[in-house]
Amino acid sequence: MYMGHFAIALGARRWLRSLPLAWLLFASIEPDLHDALGSWLPALGIGEATHSFPGILYAAAAVALLTALLFRRIGLALGASLLVLSHVIVDYLTSWLPLWHGGPHAGLHLYAIPWADFMLETTTIGVGLALYARSPDLRRPARAGLVAMGMVMVGLQAVWNFSMASG
């Protein structure tokens, strides 16, 4: 589910204020976007490589280069690439993924244990929003909406874990 990835992006906002929030959200789910692109256009041959170590290193480097070119700051490029890398680190907790194309699979596969995945995702959402709340550029009225945002994110995660997984 994307809620944990988005929460990490929101938490990173505290340190990467010069990047638009949309860019942080993009970087946090870039491997899934690549995965979807490969599903829509099988001729690209992307397949399962998007979440493998070589695939994620390539994606992190590409996002870093694009960020450096667009925003002209190496620190921001490094931060965006770390968001891409965080995606797969978290996915190895929740999923069962190949280490490389055709290689062995690894991960805790918490999706198979919905309550455990829900606890991990909810904790990630809480930490991400707590960090985001401390972002110096976040205005006071927006802070009040963080509780509602957290409730929506946790609610969507609950639907994912307890409704969709069982059906």
The domain segmentation of the chain, as residue ranges, is: 2-164
Residues 6+ apart with CB under 8 A from 75: none
pLDDT for 33? 87
Give me the mean pLDDT over the 29-37 stretch: 86
Q: What is the pLDDT of the chain when averaged over all its residues? A: 88
Nearest CA to 34 among 22, 42, 52, 46?
46
pLDDT for 52? 86
- Choose from 32-41, 82-91, 95-104, 156-165 the range with maximum mean pLDDT: 82-91
pLDDT for 27? 96
106: phi then psi, degrees, rounded to nearest 5: -150, 165
**Would residue 69 be called left, alpha or beta, if left means φ above 0 and alpha means ψ between -120 and 50 degrees?**
alpha
pTM of this structure: 0.86
What confidence tens digit (pLDDT) does each residue in 73-100 have? 999 999 999 999 999 999 999 999 888 8
- Other C-beta atoms lying within 10 Å of the C-beta of residue 30: 23
What confidence tens digit (pLDDT) does each residue in 44-71 have? 666 667 888 888 998 999 999 999 999 9
- Other C-beta atoms lying within 10 Å of the C-beta of residue 147: 11
Largest CA distance in the chain: 50
Element (H, E) at 14: none
User: CA-CA distances (angstroms) from residue 159 to 101, 108, 150?
Assistant: 31, 21, 14
Q: Read off the tokens for 43.
A: 């001729």
What confidence tens digit (pLDDT) does each residue in 133-158 have? 888 777 776 777 888 999 999 999 99
Q: How confident is the model at residue 166 (pLDDT cuts 50, 70, 90)?
A: low
- Other C-beta atoms lying within 10 Å of the C-beta of residue 83: 26
